[in-house]
């Protein structure tokens, strides 16, 4: 199987693209790039917990949208970009400390849309959230 990436992709580029954004503010880190996936993680700490000490559900969605959006950008032809159309998340298990790691894989890479599945797990490898994002792929203007 060949890689899905249509633009050069590195962890450094993903990090650089996200500097001074919600991604860097929340401490999200890009950790691995495979032929058909992008992986990143978010800390469960004072920046990301809700008042009852659990990882805020919205932060899980931010991690999912980050990985799906960055993945869609690099899986699109040069000059194209992706914008989110729809995202959903099912919260399966609470996380109270450590890291939550998300793995984004495409379900569909089309000419005008992409669908990405993002599975998030705690440090024990237990699923905490599953999410799916639909991206519109915009051609250069």
Q: Which residues are catalytic?
A: 65
12/67 Cα distance (integer angstroms): 14
Angle at 23 between CA 20 and CA 27, to 5 degrees: 100
31/33 Cα distance (integer angstroms): 7
Contact 133, 118 (CB under 8 A): yes
């Amino acid at each position: 199987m060949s890689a899905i990436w249509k633009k050069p992709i590195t962890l450094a580029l993903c990090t650089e693209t996200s500097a001074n954004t919600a991604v860097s503010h929340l401490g999200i880190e890009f950790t691995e790039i495979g032929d058909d996936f992008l992986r990143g993680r978010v800390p469960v700490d004072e920046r990301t917990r809700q008042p009852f000490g659990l990882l805020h559900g919205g932060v899980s969605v931010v991690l999912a949208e980050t990985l799906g959006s960055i993945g869609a950008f690099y899986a699109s032809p040069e000059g194209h970009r992706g914008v989110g159309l729809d995202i959903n998340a099912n919260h399966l298990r609470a996380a109270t400390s450590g890291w939550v790691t998300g793995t984004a894989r495409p379900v569909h890479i089309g000419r005008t849309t992409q669908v990405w599945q993002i599975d998030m797990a705690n440090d024990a490898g237990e699923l905490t959230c599953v999410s799916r994002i639909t991206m519109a792929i915009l051609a250069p203007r």
